Structure 1
Amino acid sequence: MNSNTSNPLGAAKPYGILVVLWLVGWTLRVPILAAPPLATRIADSFGLGEAAEGALTMLPVVTIAFGAIPAAWIIAKFGLRIAIVAGLLVMTAASVARGQVPSPALLFAASAIMGLGVAVFQTALPAATRVWTPSHVALGSAVYLNGMMLGELSGAGLTLPIVLPLAGGDWRLALGLWAIPIVLIALLVALVRVPKDPSSQSETGLPQGPSLPKWNDLRVWQYGLLLASSVVAFFVVNAYSGSLLQSRGEYDAAEAFHFAYNAMPLAASFTVLMVPGWVGLRAPIAVAAVFSALGLAGFTILDGWASWVSAMVTGFAATIELILLVSLPPAIAKGIAVTRLSAGMTLISFSIAFLLTLLGGGLADRQDWLEMALMPSLVFMVVALAALGRSARYPGYE
């Protein structure tokens, strides 16, 4: 790992800030991944087809992508704390609104607004680890990403067995119940005392400079394509696994499958915590990308327990790849450059993931073969291996 992420001798760990980062990280995926387990109920309520069902799951993802660019401007203008709190509140309000709207059009609109809220504080978090935990940047990144992974497990794994029964089987109320802890976390971020970057002369807490990504920089595209591979691998399985299991006569295993699949990111995050030296290296990303593609291929062509194990491989490997890539900007950049690089990678990766998932759903509808929903993502993941590069360690970024 680059020297700018190392810990000075004797530097105390900022446990309070680490807790805040973990909690905010936990919120990143809860509203998004609470939807896939409820997808068949939502689709039945609004008469949605396979393509529309997949689009509903992935729409927040694409709005995260396009929201990353205005998010970078918001962070530079108003600062990290305001960006994180505002993003949390917008995300929560829109998530609750999804359960109250009367039409598919408003359902999709609320999902898009929810993604925009996520985009703001997701883009802010890499810079927050640099500013709020300056002596423990790698630890700060690992902690909030660990929170994100447990949030994925919470949203996807606890919705059916716990939250839906608490809501009396009403999927609309279930989405509302998930909002309660997120509002409390937003209040905590608003009240807690956080440090500013000592090199900053502005009220935002960040050194000033251009806030938009450098689109002529090939490394933004290189890292963005690699990140897209990990994002689409994880989300495409969540988007279509319920329908696939149902078509294979395996829907009785859906609850256990969703829980186990969304537990893989948590296991992956603890793996990276044990070997933080992987951040910035090419080899671990390459190995994870290969196994992620192999796992998705197995889930596509196999059935029964073999397909389930293959999906678990994808969930674990894709998450290791994602963690290492999301941790890259604060590890190799400083100040507003962290936000620029993160925003560019987010736009590229999440928009590609959305388009591939939507394309797969359309092909599945047209050919009446559900496995086709996974094929565009699988082909892209194989092609994206070419973006790994040749350097053993990814260089610094300005």
Structure 2
Amino acid sequence: MAVLLWLAGLYLRIPILVAPPLAPFIGDELALTQTLTGALTTLPILMLAIGSMPGSLAIARIGPRNTLAMAMVIMVLGSAGRGLAPDTVTLMLASATMGIGVAMMQPALPALLPRWLEPHHLALGSAIYMNGMLMGEFIGAGITLPILMPLLDNSWRATLMVWSLPALLVAAALYLPRRDREKPVGKVSWLPDWSNPLTLRIGLLLGLSGSMFFGLNAYMGSLLEQQGQFNKLADALFWFNIAQVFASLTMLKMAKAWVGRRSVIIITASLSILGTLGAITFTGWWAIASATVMSLSAGILLILLVAVPPLVTTARETGRLSAGTFLVGYTLAFSVPMLGGLIADATGDARHAILTIIGYSLLVLPLAFKLDLQRKKDQPES
């Protein structure tokens, strides 16, 4: 089960993060504008918010395992479909389809944990699939150009196929474990429960983590260029992204001790803000070190927040709560950096993009002090 959780987690990010290294080749062949080239990465991120509710609906109707398998098939159809796209419109439709599939996978994984694992293993289960997700970020971005493309005659189309199709085997393997601790029940609500304060609070804090990571990743080049340090961009991106791997490895070790502790969420959120502030205050290697601290802290914070729903709510409500938090979190992870970019364009100062993200993060940080992380008891079946 641990291997399946890890492999499913891997495909939460690989289909998205292979786009940036392949974007120049795709753009050249299909004559994409800069905006459309960027959309190869940003469009799936937007879909992560939009697709969370179809995922919640599917979980309520057909269960988390069936939803996860179906979502992986949708993801493969979209991801591999990009490799067959003859034109820009088809490429963007395939990218959106891939993003919807990944988005539906997101709430299905935490909803599956209570069915496969004992309660005292929920934190570790969350850390395992999140380790796969964060490793997927590094693997997808790190080995596509230097290793995979040369083996495939430098074909971006074949590269997308090779990354995508093995997920079908993972989807089929999801049915190997016979264990399912929760029996089928009647109709289950799937819309976000806005009366539950955790839906909005966790979602807004996910927006803090996501906007900082995606925002600083996006504007790193502009910041270094403004500082006259553009030659350090490759090193900066390497350390920035590998810090997410170290975050996931840390949580594999510390999951049982840290998951469900409000104090750890407060500390990692605060360190994320300080690291981001340091990235625009310092220059050179000190700025890169600060950005790396932010990435490490934000990665740990992400795992801590994603692990909350299966820990604090009933098995029937986990998918619903997770979907609601992802809807809020990824909407903000997309829109806050976008707003920052518009402000930076207007002022001509790249630091203003990051200051916008810091301003948002400071506004929502007090929510971490109000998180109620007490476990709700399962309600008797009727």
Q: TM-score by structure 1 length?
A: 0.84
Tell me how far 1:252 sits from its aligned partner. Answer: 5.3
Partner residue, 2:91: 107
State yes or no: 1:304 paired with 2:288. Answer: no
Tell me how far 1:245 sits from its aligned partner. Answer: 5.0
* SS at 1:262 equivalent: helix
Query: Structure 1 residue aligned with 2:8, among 24, 29, 42?
Result: 24
Tell me how far 1:39 sits from its aligned partner. Answer: 4.5
Tell me how far 1:52 sits from its aligned partner. Answer: 5.5
Partner residue, 2:160: 175
Which letter does structure 1 place at the counterpart of 2:211?
V
State yes or no: 1:146 paired with 2:126. Answer: no
* SS at 2:20 equivalent: helix
The answer as to whether partners of 1:278 and 1:284 remain within 8 angstroms in 2 is yes
State yes or no: 1:351 paired with 2:331. Answer: yes
Deviations 1:101-157 (A, max 9, x none): 355444333222211101112111001111111252222112111111211211122
Counterpart CA distance in 2 for 1:18 and 1:216 is 34
Residues 221-260 of structure 1: matches in 2 within 5 Å? 221-242=200-221, 244=223, 253-260=232-239
Counterpart CA distance in 2 for 1:308 and 1:267 is 16
Query: Structure 2 residue aligned with 1:197, among 153, 176, 181?
Result: 181
Partner residue, 1:98: 82
Tell me how far 1:185 sits from its aligned partner. Answer: 1.9
Partner residue, 2:261: 281
Counterpart CA distance in 2 for 1:338 and 1:229 is 22
Deviations 1:313-333 (A, max 9, x none): 111000111100000011111
Change (3 A) 1:286 1:92: same
The answer as to whether partners of 1:90 and 1:117 remain within 8 angstroms in 2 is yes
Change (3 A) 1:236 1:397: farther
How many residue pairs get aligned? The number is 374
- Of stretches 358-367 and 154-163 in structure 1, the one that deviates more from structure 2 is 358-367
Change (3 A) 1:305 1:42: farther
State yes or no: 1:161 paired with 2:146. Answer: yes
The answer as to whether partners of 2:223 and 2:350 remain within 8 angstroms in 1 is yes
Residues 1-398 of structure 1: matches in 2 within 5 Å? 17-39=1-23, 42=26, 46-49=31-34, 54-135=38-119, 136-190=121-175, 192-198=176-182, 200-202=183-185, 209-242=188-221, 244=223, 253-275=232-254, 276-390=256-370, 394-397=373-376
The answer as to whether partners of 1:68 and 1:120 remain within 8 angstroms in 2 is yes
Deviations 1:174-227 (A, max 9, x none): 33331133233223224x1332224x244xxxx753222112332211111111
Counterpart CA distance in 1 for 2:143 and 2:276 is 24
Counterpart CA distance in 2 for 1:197 and 1:208 is 18
Tell me how far 1:389 sits from its aligned partner. Answer: 2.5
Partner residue, 1:12: none
Counterpart CA distance in 2 for 1:253 and 1:174 is 28
Counterpart CA distance in 2 for 1:42 and 1:252 is 25
For structure 2, the 5+ residue unaligned runs are 378-382
Q: CA RMSD in A?
A: 2.6
The answer as to whether partners of 2:190 and 2:320 remain within 8 angstroms in 1 is yes
For structure 1, the 5+ residue unaligned runs are 1-16
Tell me how far 1:72 sits from its aligned partner. Answer: 0.8
Counterpart CA distance in 2 for 1:340 and 1:320 is 23
The answer as to whether partners of 1:81 and 1:189 remain within 8 angstroms in 2 is yes
* SS at 1:158 equivalent: helix
Counterpart CA distance in 1 for 2:59 and 2:215 is 30
Tell me how far 1:261 sits from its aligned partner. Answer: 2.2
The answer as to whether partners of 1:228 and 1:353 remain within 8 angstroms in 2 is yes
Change (3 A) 1:108 1:220: same
Q: TM-score by structure 2 length?
A: 0.88
Change (3 A) 1:129 1:311: same
Counterpart CA distance in 2 for 1:235 and 1:131 is 32
Deviations 1:6-61 (A, max 9, x none): xxxxxxxxxxx111111111111111122233445555664434x66555423212
Which letter does structure 2 place at the counterpart of 1:128?
L
* SS at 2:265 equivalent: helix
Deviations 1:208-249 (A, max 9, x none): 532221123322111111111111222223333355556666
Tell me how far 1:362 sits from its aligned partner. Answer: 3.2
The answer as to whether partners of 2:80 and 2:165 remain within 8 angstroms in 1 is no
Change (3 A) 1:64 1:80: same
* SS at 1:178 equivalent: helix
Counterpart CA distance in 2 for 1:179 and 1:366 is 39
Percent of paired sites with the same residue? 38
Change (3 A) 1:148 1:107: same
